[in-house]
Amino acid sequence: MTVVEGGERRRDSVAHAFARVSHRADIVVIHDAARPLVTDAVIRRTITAAGESGAAIAALRARDTVKRASSDGAITATLPRDEIFLAQTPQAFRREILREALEHPGDATDEAMLAEHAGHVVRVVEGDPRNLKITTPDDLATAERLLGAASTPALRIGNGYDLHRLVTGRTLILGGVTIPFEKGLEAHSDGDALAHAVTDAILGAAGAGDIGRHFPDSDPAWKGADSLDLLGRAAAIIRDDGYSLVNVDIVVIAQRPKLVPHLDAIRANLAKAMHADVSQISVKGKTNEGVDSMGAGESIAVHAVALLNRRV
């Protein structure tokens, strides 16, 4: 980066900088430091248009009715709104056009005006209302709000719950892990209550319904389905809606079997299914102290809470 000394006028500062631009440069772009919220898209549009026509600026079409008034405030004319544009920066020029513009006598409020006076046509491309010029304290406050909105995540919380009976003749699967036990969970699918609860949690956080809506047990297509596969499908749904997983916290309530030996494998399976990191997955096993069907070893219940992030 090269820093040059500014001049008394805007055109003097631009001329000082232009003098340091490489002769190999084809397009020269000028931008106000007072417009810190400019986007890549606006810059690209301006450069492309300058490459095609020689000179271009970003600008906003006037949305309000535009009046011309005398010094005493009396309206002298109403200007055609569809012909009025509010100039922004960046302003981009082919090197030779900018050189001729800066050599043109007189002062101007921007380089486009100098180029016009030098006989060049300057194109207008679509600017951005957020590309505001910070001139007053109110402008600064507006820019800070826009920056805050761009960087603040929209957090969404979802709660999932599932409970299945333990029955003989079924394989016990939790979080995609087959756990040695004399009973398994009764269900239309593979009975993975843990995966079901997490699926409901992430779908709920995204406002995308629940597992029954997307994979109804009335549909024979899901009979005996791999619940981790269903979780992966649900994760794809929320990603398509613009959400990403922050974390999920799971509590499995089961008197037996002990889940501690299987927790790492469960976390790894869930992370893989949701395209997440294992550090984003927490799984805890709890007994029900002999109370109710869970405490009697007749069922297993799972609670899951998911936190999603969506940039606004």
Q: 84: which 2 tokens?
A: 């009025």
pLDDT in tens, 12-65: 999 999 999 999 999 999 999 999 999 999 999 999 999 999 999 999 999 999
Q: Does residue 149 surpass a pLDDT of 80?
A: no
The region, left, alpha or beta by phi > 0 then psi within -120 to 50, assigned to residue 242 is left
- Provide the pLDDT for residue 152: 58
**49: closest CA among 115, 110, 125, 120?**
125
What does the domain layout of the chain look like in residue ranges?
10-151, 153-311
Mean predicted lDDT score pLDDT of the chain: 94
The whole-angstrom separation of Cα 249 and Cα 271 is 12
pLDDT in tens, 67-77: 999 999 999 99
The whole-angstrom separation of Cα 101 and Cα 114 is 5
Q: Percentage of the chain surpassing pLDDT 70? A: 98
Instruction: Name the band, by pLDDT with cuts 50, 70 and 90, for residue 308.
Output: very high
User: What homologous superfamily is domain 10-151 in, according to CATH?
Assistant: Spore Coat Polysaccharide Biosynthesis Protein SpsA; Chain A (3.90.550.10)
pLDDT in tens, 75-124: 999 999 999 999 999 999 999 999 999 999 888 999 999 999 999 999 99
Instruction: Name the band, by pLDDT with cuts 50, 70 and 90, for residue 144.
Output: confident
- Quick one: fold of 153-311? 60s Ribosomal Protein L30; Chain: A; (3.30.1330)
- Provide the pLDDT for residue 148: 75
- Provide the pLDDT for residue 231: 97
Range in 117-131, 147-161, 197-211, 217-231 with the lowest mean pLDDT: 147-161
